[in-house]
Amino acid sequence: MNLTIYNYITIGSMVILTILILLQTRGATLGAGMGGGGEVNTVRRGSDRTLHQITIVLAIIFASSLILGIV
């Protein structure tokens, strides 16, 4: 199996991205999914904001590695 650097970056970022998405639990209750209220407009602060920003950067890295791996 011939794995390039893009494959390693894609696999690594995929695993880390999955973990980061699962760590973000805000608004993930069943009641919120059924329209059962909760805060709609909130501001991310502290570690929640940092976790969100890292997730965005990692998603960009993941998408880029997929595109570069195809080309």
pLDDT digits (tens, 9 = 90+) for 41-67: 667 778 888 898 999 999 999 999 988
Structure tokens belonging to residue 35? 């329209």
pLDDT confidence bin for 35, thresholds 50/70/90: low
CA distance linking residue 16 with residue 35, whole number of Å: 30
Residues 6+ apart with CB under 8 A from 51: 20, 23, 24
Structure tokens belonging to residue 46? 């502290």
Domain ranges for the chain, please list them: 1-22+46-71
Residue labelled with tokens 């009641």: 31
pLDDT value at 12 more than 60: yes
pTM confidence score: 0.69
